[in-house]
Chain A
Amino acid sequence: MELLDATLVNWSRAQFAMTAMYHWLFVPLTLGLGVIMSIMETLYVRTGDEAWKKATKFWMTLFGVNFAIGVATGIILEFEFGTNWSNYSWFVGDIFGAPLAIEGIMAFFMEATFISIMFFGWNKVGKKFHLASTWLTVTGATLSALWILVANAWMQYPAGMTFNPDTVRNEMTDFWSILLSPVAINKFFHTVLSGWVMGALFVVGVSSWFLLKKRETDFALKSILVGAIFGLASSLLIAYTGDGSAYQVTQKQPMKLAAMEGLYEGKTGAGLVAIGILNPSKESFNDTVNPYLFKIEIPKMLSMLGYRDAEAYVPGIRNIIEGGYETKNGTALSFEEKQARGKAAVQALADYKKAVSAKDSIAATLYKSKLDENYAHFGYGYLDKPEDLIPNVPMVFYSFHIMVMLGMYFIGLFAIVLFFTFRKRIQNAAWLLLICLLSIPLGYIAGELGWVVAEVGRQPWAIQDILPVQAAISNISSDSVKITFFLFLVLFSGLLLAEVRIMIRQIKKGPENH
């Protein structure tokens, strides 16, 4: 049974990850390219320069291709919640449902209304009205992302709710603390900015292709200028929000931070691994094997990032499992203590249910109180051993470090592109143009790796500390999940192939034909 469960959980996770990762191939370009084309149209409206209109229309067509092929791919994630993750869906219904409903009603209809004016309204509505429609389309897309990210942030840091044992649901008690949780705010800006960087890389990369082909030089130079300025600003801001995200992870998900850094032993004044290779011989959190084969650290930087204090103590994986170190909320509990509290919470839920059935209100009140007292560790009741608490360290570690390195690379790339652009030398720097073109996929890789850090790093939790994935799963056959996994693989690969082919065809046509 345990093996069957593991197969079902693993296939369901793989399916969700695959769907989400494909979905995330479409979303960031929509967010980033949307803002860039809006900026270009703003320049057109302000200057009256037809070249900006031509550029806007070209990028708008590519935006349309990406939008059309990517639209509704995220709905499949909601299908999966209802089928594969029904315990989870029920358990969180009210909280998860509200942001998703707002997303569907407000943001999607906003996009749907204004996108038609944006595409059909050239020469039919006033310039300013058209410009407003373009910005509102992009705003709608960004607000869509906001509500989805708020729901995701709640899973990382559940707040603003209370558990009702009668309905077995978490019920929203404070909408604003869910919307404005520091995790949600950081996640929103960090994620949207990653889309902006992606859009900038795309614009600069495609424009570089035109310059390499010695076509559409004026259009390409204008696009590179806007793309590189926007990209540099976005990639600097994403470094800032990344710092905020690291701080939040340290406070709310210390195990994820330890995995991101491959940190097994806690230390004061902990350094940040700039470059490192993990030791594959490290098999257990409490063996004496050095977790690194090689590393270069920035002294005290991890303590600074995580606690804003260069001498702060950062717990490692072993410390988080064994507990006993001091935190701002008191002494950290060990895995066994948390597990005992989790078991007590689940037992209290079972006893509460029996008391309610027996119409014993005194006992029900007592068990409800015990449940409330231990609810913060409810999910630990499902974990058998300390190792269950540790995410896949190599995957999280390398994903995090490659993402950060790519982030730094993007800052440098946009800065160099701007330098060459202002010196009017970029069209002759074939090597740089080629690098820009080849850098387009790197934006996608960085974005996907960011999600790997966020989601693999918080395993085993579907909801941090409250519900692990093995309790969140439906009681269904793993065979059906395997079949749908491959169906999605085919469907999404087909969509991706269609997108790439149509995009390339449109790009080759050039801006004159849009």
Chain B
Amino acid sequence: MTTPAIFHKLYIFYRDGFKSMTIGKTLWIIVLVKLFIMFFVLKIFFFPNFLKSNFKDDESRSNHVGQELIDKAL
């Protein structure tokens, strides 16, 4: 089987699969809404990576964490 034929078969496989879904459509909507909320709302607006957004390179990040660990104990 040639490569384009394999891709065509895969396309048909998934197309028919999605078309024949019943409960699956509701689930896909839930999954997509959930992923949108998680990655485009929560992650961006509420969960920035603290070290990446406040420090420009690994050296400054390690200095910050090192200082935090020292200051919190001594």
* Chain A residues packing against B (C-beta within 8 Å): 61, 64-65, 68-69, 71-72, 75-76, 79-80, 82-84, 86-87, 89-91, 116, 119-121, 124, 165-169, 342-343, 346-347, 349-350, 353, 381-382, 470-471, 474-476, 480, 483-484, 487, 491, 495, 498, 502, 506
Contacts and interface: CB of A to CB of B under 8 A. Distances in A.
B23 A61 contact: yes
Given A79-B43, A90-B65, A64 B34 contact: no
Given A68-B31, A484-B42, A495-B30, A353 B66 contact: yes
B69 A346 contact: yes
Given A168-B62, A346-B74, A471-B73, A87 B34 contact: no
Contacts of A166: 62
Nearest to A82: B49
- A contact patch SS: helix
Interface residues of B, number: 37
Contacts of A65: 23, 27
A350 B70 contact: yes
10 contacts: A68-B31, A75-B38, A83-B47, A83-B50, A86-B51, A90-B62, A168-B69, A471-B69, A475-B68, A502-B27
B3 interface: no
A86 B70 contact: no
Given A79-B42, A80-B47, A487-B42, A119 B69 contact: no
Nearest 7 pairs of A and B residues by beta carbon: A120-B17, A86-B50, A79-B47, A68-B27, A82-B49, A346-B73, A381-B73
Interface in B40-74: 42-43, 46-52, 58, 61-62, 65-66, 68-70, 72-74
Contact of A124 (B13, B49, B72): B13
Nearest to B15: A120
B7 interface: no
B26 interface: yes
B73 A382 contact: yes
Interface in B11-32: 13-14, 16-18, 20, 23-24, 26-28, 30-31
Given A65-B23, A68-B30, 16 more contacts: A68-B28, A71-B31, A82-B47, A83-B47, A83-B48, A84-B50, A86-B50, A89-B51, A90-B62, A116-B14, A121-B13, A346-B70, A347-B74, A475-B50, A483-B46, A484-B46
A91 B62 CA distance: 9
Given A91-B65, A120-B13, A491 B37 contact: yes
Contact of B62 (A64, A169, A347, A471): A169
Nearest to A509: B23
A466 to B, nearest CB: 11
Contacts of B65: 86-87, 90-91, 168
